[in-house]
Amino acid sequence: MKRLFTQIAMMTLAIVGYAQSDIHFSTVKATDKNLPAEVIDALDLKMHQVLNRNSAAAADVYNVFAIEPALSLGDVLSTEGMVRNVSVAKGELVLIAKNIIDGTEYYSLTIPVEADAVGDKDKAMMKLVQNIKVTNPAFTRFIRTTRQKIADYYAANCAIILQKAQALYNQRRYQEAVIYLSAVTGNIPCYDQAYALQQEIAANIPAGPDTVIVEKEVEKPVIVEVEKPVIVEVEKPQPATPVIDQKAPQMPPYELTISVNDLDFRILRCYGNKEQNRITIETEFCNRRMNTEKGEVEIKSAFDENAKELESYNFSVNENDSSYDWRNMPPKLAMKQDFYLIKADHFIPKISYIKLKVRDAIIEIRNLPVEW
């Protein structure tokens, strides 16, 4: 709780003097199922490059604005030559600026794209994405216009925004209220009221203990079995031992710490799939905070067996391969959540360190072995 209070305090201080140029964006992957996964990933990477080049990429999880691209392909024309077939792909790149909290769409722009490619249709589509120039001034104009549209929208809907934030606050959904208010920038009329409400939220958060590091009990029987093989659990009549072995068969010891004491978290299994080039970390958590029903899940950072840090595009927490998601977390309900490491440049036998976020809890895991 102290950690959340500190984050809110820093946010309310940082938002002072906010201007349109300070509106930043995350990216949402294209959802067209007709596009190959490789094309979707390449398009997502291209959008990250566009945002970085225009100094518009979001730097933290409290951002609520996102850019969602959609690639619409027209006919792919093929001409038979003496040596090879040449495919000409033409289509449209549609950019949609939206609010990931309430789904509001602020602005969209269509940019014509085309490229020549040798090979089949999938290769032509990949070439189409590769041919998108991040230096295209249309992207700069899109970001500038979107920022103005967002300012206009919030200026015209101040009362509604404050009412929704107040409703979240009344329901004690503090983090959602703060995230929603963080979109109110300093150049719109209701900024003073929004800032005051953020201060009120910070002042009324129930006092809690300092951040504590709690080693989860799931590690203890595992460590005992590996480091002290003399103790044979089979000799004990309790049925608990085989259940633990089934969930984590012969799992070597690893370290797990969690920054709060009102959320339970454990690892069920960590395994890799060479064909998919993916590592899956199956976990289970239980939110024990009665006044919180929703929260975020995120992979914040990860390092391979050589302590080399992986990139954010290697992280995924949902089917859209996003490193961040917002989900329901009913109190006192054990829930499953899978975390993925994808598109790594080699097979990773052990994750030396990974930092996860569930609700407002930071989970740190060290020396986690991967089953292949």
Per domain, the residue ranges of the chain are: 2-155, 214-369
Contact between 327 and 358 under an 8 Å Cβ cutoff? The reply is: no
How high does pLDDT run on average in the chain? 77
When the candidates are 2.40.110.10, 2.60.40.10, 1.10.1060.10, 2.50.20.10, the CATH number that belongs to 214-369 is 2.60.40.10
Question: Considering the domain 2-155 in this protein, what is its CATH number?
Answer: 3.30.160
At how many degrees (to 10) do helices 219-227 and 240-247 cross?
Answer: 90
Q: What per-residue confidence (pLDDT) applies to 109?
A: 94
Task: Check pLDDT > 60 for residue 7.
Answer: no
In whole angstroms, give the CA distance from residue 186 to residue 184. Answer: 7
Task: Check pLDDT > 70 for residue 96.
Answer: yes
Sign of dihedral through CA atoms 363, 285, 216, 361?
Answer: positive
Would you give the distance in Å from CA 325 to the centre of its chain? 5
Q: What per-residue confidence (pLDDT) applies to 238?
A: 54
Quote the strand ranges of the chain, DSSP E: 26-27, 65-80, 85-99, 105-118, 214-215, 255-258, 263-273, 278-287, 294-303, 315-316, 324-328, 334-342, 350-358, 361-369
State the Cα torsion 309-310-311-313 to the nearest 10°: -160
Interstrand relation of 350-358 and 361-369 (parallel, antiparallel or unpaired): antiparallel
The pTM score is: 0.49
Over residues 328-353, mean pLDDT: 90
Q: What per-residue confidence (pLDDT) applies to 207?
A: 52
Residue 120 amino acid letter: D
Q: What per-residue confidence (pLDDT) applies to 1?
A: 47
Find all residues with CB under 8 Å of 250, minimum gap 6, and list them.
none
Q: What is the pLDDT of residues 171-229, one digit of tens each?
A: 887 766 776 777 676 767 788 888 888 888 877 765 544 444 444 444 444 444 545 55
In whole angstroms, give the CA distance from residue 333 to residue 289. Answer: 11
Q: Token digits for 244? A: 């633990």
